[in-house]
Amino acid sequence: MSTINPGDTVTLYNPKNNKRICIRLNLEQTIHTQWGIIDPKDIVGLRPGDAVTTHLGEKLIIFRPLLYEKIEHWKCFRYPTQIVRPRDWGIIISFSNIRPGSRVIEIGTGSGAFTAFLCEIVRPDGFVYSYESNPERAKVAENNLKVLNIPNIYTIKIRDVARDGLDEENVDAVFVDIPEPWTIVNHAYKSLKDGGMLICYVPTFNQIRDLLIALNKNIFYDIRIIDHFYREIQPKPGAVRPLLKSYVFSAFIVFARKGLH
């Protein structure tokens, strides 16, 4: 089993409170955490699952980070916008059938979090075409994707899709995360393959109404709107119950399939 090396990114997990941080090991920089200080040399050579002790005596478990940990618990990942939260990733993939080899358009790159996840799903032979109207956000997203070491199976295009449309044709899915998704429904229809899936991530009922009108005008069927409940359970043998403040709403997820008549 591979051991931890200088330059690796690791997750430091505190089993006492289920909290974690993500860091990259630099032998020249002492690691400062809310649980105490760690010499990075104490981590090098350990295996995932091993423990390291801070100067305050706190034991932290070392893991190789999951993608969501890099996005949510690493200071190197920047947030110019809200992101499609990891708790929604599985729902989106489950009902859209995005898989290895899929060609996917993303409208609204934002911070690049969901772009990264899409790349992990469609690799090695698929591709993600991401569109972002704001040049500064596109630049941050590009840097985030490089920090995450995402394979080069994506492109970020700076464009107002509602005004200028999309380049690709015959794609498997179009994912939309912009404030006015109804403005690009006609462009998405043209880019999707027959029966292809449109997915829209919208936070309010008002947006859903206008989106539904646009979907019906553009021959979309099998429309499904999902609001799923996310609730974590406290993993304590003596007090197994839902965590306080564990219900979090992120957005409604709207699915629709392209029809021909």
pLDDT mean over 42-53: 97
Q: Label the pairing between strands 192-202 and 252-258.
A: antiparallel
Whether 153 and 199 map to the same domain: the answer is: yes
At 57, which CATH number? Answer: 3.10.330.20
pLDDT of residue 249: 80
Residue 197 has pLDDT above 80, yes or no: yes
Whether 93 and 58 map to the same domain: the answer is: no
pTM (global) more than 0.95 = no
Number of folded domains that form the chain: 2
Whether 118 and 227 map to the same domain: the answer is: yes
Amino acid residing at 23? I
Residue 1: pLDDT band (50, 70, 90) is low
Q: Give 53 or 244, the one with higher predicted confidence.
A: 53
pLDDT digits 0-9 by tens, 117-156:
999 999 999 999 999 999 999 999 999 999 999 999 999 9
**In a domain? residue 4:** no
Whether 143 and 182 map to the same domain: the answer is: yes
The CA distance from 215 to 185, in Å, is 7
Whether 174 and 60 map to the same domain: the answer is: no
Average pLDDT, the chain: 95
pLDDT of residue 113: 97
**In a domain? residue 75:** no
| Residue 27 structural domain | 9-65
**In angstroms, how far is the first alpha carbon of the chain from the final one?**
56
Whether 162 and 199 map to the same domain: the answer is: yes
Whether 135 and 42 map to the same domain: the answer is: no
Whether 52 and 115 map to the same domain: the answer is: no
Whether 58 and 91 map to the same domain: the answer is: no
Local structure of 212: helix, strand or coil: helix
At 109, which CATH number? Answer: 3.40.50.150
pLDDT of residue 238: 87
Whether 140 and 61 map to the same domain: the answer is: no
Residue 160: pLDDT band (50, 70, 90) is very high
Whether 130 and 175 map to the same domain: the answer is: yes
**In a domain? residue 3:** no
**In a domain? residue 81:** no
pLDDT of residue 246: 63
Whether 25 and 128 map to the same domain: the answer is: no
**In a domain? residue 71:** no
**In a domain? residue 194:** yes
pLDDT of residue 34: 95
pLDDT digits 0-9 by tens, 220-243:
999 999 998 878 888 888 889 888
pLDDT digits 0-9 by tens, 63-122:
999 999 999 999 999 998 889 999 999 999 999 999 999 999 999 999 999 999 999 999
- The region, left, alpha or beta by phi > 0 then psi within -120 to 50, assigned to residue 36 is left
